[in-house]
Structure 1
Amino acid sequence: MGKSSRDKRDVFYRLAKEGNFRARSAYKLIQIDEEFDLFTGVFHVVDLCAAPGSWSQVVSQRLASDKNEGERAVKIVAVDLQAMAPLPGVVQIQGDITKKGTAEAIIEHFEGKSAHLVLCDGAPDVTGLPDFDEYVQAQLLLAAFNIATNVLVPEGTFLAKLFCGKDVLVLLSHLQKFFKEVVIAKPRTSRNSSIA
């Protein structure tokens, strides 16, 4: 049986369908929030590599009660190469996060303000060649990190998917130069076979 059969047996796949989330990954973000309290004091969020939009859905729901104005008005910007179906309260940018123009478009949407939280659940299409897949994923992470360093407030949070391969310590050492605390977390929703 193919991947779809495995997914249909997966409890988080079924929960996502029942909860009207676009993907099971919504529960990864929910579980990370439960552990680290991501959304307290957060009004401006960037969701990179956002398609199909499940993380943006979670963010939108979590921040929906915050109807503040001015500096505290909620702004959510979702970015992906692929177009996504619209989400209430989410501005979408179709673009490549490795390109300067995409980063500039994100910054423009915040109208001189900064983001409190930058998310990136991006991963390449896995080829089955671990070294290559880890390299491509690391490039996505570094592109997201570059955007984060340009849009985050001081003490802001950057949450990104990371393939835990042989060069993970090099990536972590770079992140530790910019962030006071760097933590690796693997939510229960991650499949056991996943290296992310």
Structure 2
Amino acid sequence: MGKASKDKRDIYYRKAKEQGWRARSAFKLLQIDEEFNIFQGVKHVVDLCAAPGSWSQVLSRKLYMPSKLSPDSGDGVVPLIVAIDLQPMAPIDGVIQVQGDITNAQTAEVVIKHFDGCKADLVVCDGAPDVTGLHDMDEFVQSQLILAALTIVTHVLRVGGKFIAKIFRGKDTSLLYCQLKLFFPIVTFAKPKSSRNSSIEAFAVCENYSPPEGFNEKDLYRLLEKVGSPSGVSDSDCSSGWLEGANKVYIPFLACGDLSGYDSDRSYPLPCSAEGPSYQSLDPVQPPIAPPYKTALELKKNLP
């Protein structure tokens, strides 16, 4: 009854299981692609904080599988997808898994080796910390995760590439926007239809990677710290200063996905047949293979 109840009140949770996605978050990346066409011309992709793998599944189905099913189409180059996470995840066709830390430059070197010295056309990151419910705290921690992801982005993303990352909207969102604008001329914050209205999450869609002239990856945090300080870095869209008052930055924000489609905050009736209710809740597509709560469950089993 519990599973059926959740299927009824979360349409994307139900559809994810029906369509074989590991998590409902797959629809968020699909809807971002519908709006921004982020997969066009992409041959090398990095998925940061990939577990349990729903975004890697999207990358596999949209990029890898079509090239395998029609090897004579296109330029004959099979897309390469590298997924990085501290946690292991079950295999996905066409996805190379790297168990490592996204803040470590050595992880970037491993990725580039898999690409035979080439760099990525697209980097995506759906990672997020365990939320506390304190929005200011959650927003700050999430912004720090994105800046940590920039550590690997600046090493592996080619000039002109794209970066997609989950953000939490809040009072300091303009600061994060300006920090991203240092590296991407086009930055849009987007809210997919499958993302609940009650959630403060959105996604930063960063296009045309263009690092500052003479930029050294080792100076990343030194450069980011200047944004929003009294001696901040001038930018055509982000004035130097504290980013408040006259210097307040207004961020492009876009709703994406079919706005007439399923509402993620609405409850939907379960399918029925002429004989009456016929719906059976499906099991998750792929349960976690090494969940952080595994140890707690084992200890609980051993209790007298």
TM-score of the superposed pair, with normalisation by structure 1: 0.92
Match of 2:133 among 115, 128, 134: 128
Q: Cα–Cα, structure 1 residues 71 and 109, in superposed 2: closer, same or farther, change >3 Å? A: farther
Partner of 2:29: 29
8 A contact 2:47–2:125 mirrored in 1:
yes
Of 157-166 and 139-148, the range deviating more from structure 2: 139-148
8 A contact 1:60–1:88 mirrored in 2:
yes
8 A contact 2:119–2:156 mirrored in 1:
yes
Could you tell me how far 1:109 is from its partner in structure 2?
1.9
Could you tell me how far 1:150 is from its partner in structure 2?
1.4
The reply to whether residue 65 of structure 1 matches residue 78 of structure 2 is no
8 A contact 1:98–1:140 mirrored in 2:
no
Q: SS at 2:187's partner residue? A: coil
The reply to whether residue 80 of structure 1 matches residue 81 of structure 2 is no
Q: Cα–Cα, structure 1 residues 98 and 71, in superposed 2: closer, same or farther, change >3 Å? A: farther
Partner of 1:151: 156
Could you tell me how far 1:149 is from its partner in structure 2?
1.8
Could you tell me how far 1:107 is from its partner in structure 2?
2.5
Between the aligned partners of 2:37 and 2:142, the Cα distance in structure 1 is: 26
Partner of 1:105: 110
Between the aligned partners of 1:152 and 1:144, the Cα distance in structure 2 is: 11
8 A contact 1:117–1:157 mirrored in 2:
yes
TM-score of the superposed pair, with normalisation by structure 2: 0.60
Q: SS at 2:192's partner residue? A: coil
Partner of 1:53: 53
Between the aligned partners of 1:149 and 1:3, the Cα distance in structure 2 is: 42
Q: SS at 1:183's partner residue? A: strand
Between the aligned partners of 1:108 and 1:14, the Cα distance in structure 2 is: 38
Q: Cα–Cα, structure 1 residues 119 and 171, in superposed 2: closer, same or farther, change >3 Å? A: same
Q: Cα–Cα, structure 1 residues 168 and 23, in superposed 2: closer, same or farther, change >3 Å? A: same
Between the aligned partners of 2:43 and 2:94, the Cα distance in structure 1 is: 12
Where do 5+ consecutive residues of structure 2 fail to align? 202-304
8 A contact 2:121–2:158 mirrored in 1:
yes
> What letter corresponds to residue 42 of structure 1 in structure 2?
V
Between the aligned partners of 2:7 and 2:48, the Cα distance in structure 1 is: 24
Between the aligned partners of 1:4 and 1:110, the Cα distance in structure 2 is: 43
Of 30-39 and 145-154, the range deviating more from structure 2: 145-154
Between the aligned partners of 1:139 and 1:2, the Cα distance in structure 2 is: 36
Could you tell me how far 1:140 is from its partner in structure 2?
1.1
Between the aligned partners of 1:71 and 1:164, the Cα distance in structure 2 is: 41
Where do 5+ consecutive residues of structure 1 fail to align? none
Structure with the greater alpha carbon radius of gyration: 2
Deviations 1:19-57 (A, max 9, x none): 010000000001110111111100100000111100000
Could you tell me how far 1:152 is from its partner in structure 2?
1.1
Could you tell me how far 1:3 is from its partner in structure 2?
10
Q: Which runs of 4+ in 1 moved over 6 A?
A: 1-4, 68-71
Aligned residues: 196
Q: Cα–Cα, structure 1 residues 93 and 70, in superposed 2: closer, same or farther, change >3 Å? A: farther
Q: SS at 1:186's partner residue? A: strand
Of 14-23 and 99-108, the range deviating more from structure 2: 99-108
Could you tell me how far 1:151 is from its partner in structure 2?
1.0
Partner of 1:180: 185
Higher helix content, 1 or 2: 1
Partner of 2:279: none
Percentage of matched positions with identical amino acids:
61
> What letter corresponds to residue 17 of structure 1 in structure 2?
K
The reply to whether residue 137 of structure 1 matches residue 142 of structure 2 is yes
Q: Cα–Cα, structure 1 residues 137 and 183, in superposed 2: closer, same or farther, change >3 Å? A: same
